[in-house]
């Protein structure tokens, strides 16, 4: 018999008996089915440097990410109202608003020294006329898409004007300029304007009207300053009855 060999065998038997007598809850199990990790760990420690063990490779360690905000969302009433409340941008990229007549503008009509200019780029309609200060009067450029019946002139002026879609106004008293909509309320988002050597402005005609009109109708009105100031002059020239009638607008083709 080999005493050394017998001692080793006896030690192994004692270890086996000790493990078998332990309670099951004290014995830790190792998962054998997760990505072959057991195969990696069971190799000789001399081979461990050759392995790239990554615990994050386990699917159990991968986080569950929330849905991307770029994914399509259902059109709820809240989403619709949020989108509907967004302001339209000011027109840009085609006409420089610097108070000087744009180089692309064309003179459409005149009456004495009074001028009407216009140009179109995409849906942006540019209009210009003499400034209020140069005329010593209040100046208006009217824009409409369908000449209809008359209504009272805007901002307390005398006479009547064919129902407009929008107009650009320039007061002589304070040289202010603004665009106004069909109800004579100030427009801000789809327009731009400036006063200098001329009164000029640009409006997105499609956003204004909701259509792509084949024709727009333009007219300039020069009014005496103050409340109920009468119509002094107009372009194109009219019949001098104190109104700007539907037939007295310049027909500007947009297609």
- d(C-alpha 57, C-alpha 62), whole Å: 8
The residue behind tokens 């000449």 is 147
Q: Which residues contact 248 (CB under 8 A, 6 or more apart)?
A: 162, 219, 234, 236, 237, 238, 239
Q: Give the pair of three-digit tokens for residue 220.
A: 């300039």
Provide the token pair at 6: 């017998």
- Taking Cα atoms as reference points, which of 4, 54, 16, 15 lies closest to residue 34? 54
**237 Cβ contact partners less than 8 Å away, ≥ 6 residues apart:** 111, 248
pLDDT bracket for residue 83 (50, 70, 90): low
Task: Inform me whether the pLDDT recorded for 70 exceeds 90.
Answer: no
Both tokens assigned to 104: 């692309």
Task: Give pLDDT, residue 230.
Answer: 98
Whether residue 119 contacts residue 102, with contact meaning beta carbons closer than 8 Å, is answered with yes
Task: Classify residue 15 by burial, with Cβ atoms within 10 Å: 0-12, 13-18, 19+.
Answer: exposed
Domain boundaries, the chain: 31-61, 106-253
State the alpha helices, DSSP H only, in the chain: 3-20, 37-41, 77-84, 132-135, 205-209
pLDDT digits (tens, 9 = 90+) for 129-162: 999 999 999 999 999 999 889 999 999 999 999 9
- What integer pLDDT is reported at residue 78 of this predicted model? 77
Query: What is the model's pLDDT at position 50?
Result: 52
Instruction: Please say if the pLDDT value at position 217 is more than 80.
Output: yes
Residue range 20-62, pLDDT digits in tens? 554 444 444 444 444 444 454 444 445 544 545 454 455 544 5
The model's pTM is 0.68
Place of tokens 């929008």: 166
pLDDT at 253: 95
Residue 85 is predicted with a pLDDT of 65
Confidence of residue 76 (pLDDT cuts 50, 70, 90): confident
DSSP 155: T
Q: Tell me the CATH class for 106-253.
A: mainly beta
Cα 189 to Cα 92: distance, rounded to the nearest angstrom: 11
- What's the pLDDT at 75? 77
Give pairs for 54-58: CB < 8 Å, separation 24+.
Answer: 58/34
Question: Over the stretch 161-190, which tens digit does the pLDDT of each residue have?
Answer: 999 999 999 999 998 999 999 999 999 899
- Residue 125 three-state SS: strand
Q: What is the distance between the alpha carbons of residues 162 and 247, in angstroms, rounded to a whole number?
A: 9
């Amino acid at each position: 018999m080999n005493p050394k060999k017998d001692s080793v065998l006896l030690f192994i038997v004692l270890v086996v008996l000790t493990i078998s007598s332990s309670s099951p809850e004290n014995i830790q199990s190792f998962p054998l089915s997760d990505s072959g990790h057991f195969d990696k760990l069971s190799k000789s420690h001399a081979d461990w440097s050759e392995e790239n063990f990554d615990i994050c490779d386990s699917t159990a360690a991968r986080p569950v990410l929330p849905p991307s905000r770029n994914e399509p969302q259902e059109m709820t009433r809240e989403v619709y109202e949020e989108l509907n409340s967004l302001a339209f941008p000011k027109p840009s990229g085609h006409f420089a608003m610097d108070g000087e007549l744009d180089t692309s503008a064309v003179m459409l009509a005149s009456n004495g020294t009074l001028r009407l200019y216009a140009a179109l780029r995409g849906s942006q309609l540019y209009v210009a006329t003499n400034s209020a200060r140069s005329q010593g009067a209040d100046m208006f450029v009217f824009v409409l898409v369908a000449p209809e019946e008359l209504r009272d002139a805007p901002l307390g002026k005398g006479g009547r004007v064919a129902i407009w879609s929008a107009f650009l106004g320039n007061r002589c008293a304070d040289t202010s300029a603004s665009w106004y909509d069909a109800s004579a309320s100030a427009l801000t988002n789809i327009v731009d304007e400036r006063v200098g050597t001329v009164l000029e402005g640009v409006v997105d005609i499609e956003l204004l009207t909701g259509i792509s009109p084949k024709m727009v109708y333009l007219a300039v009105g020069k009014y005496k300053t103050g409340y109920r100031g009468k119509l002094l002059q107009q372009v194109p020239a009219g019949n001098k009855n104190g109104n700007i009638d539907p037939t007295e607008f310049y027909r500007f083709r947009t297609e």
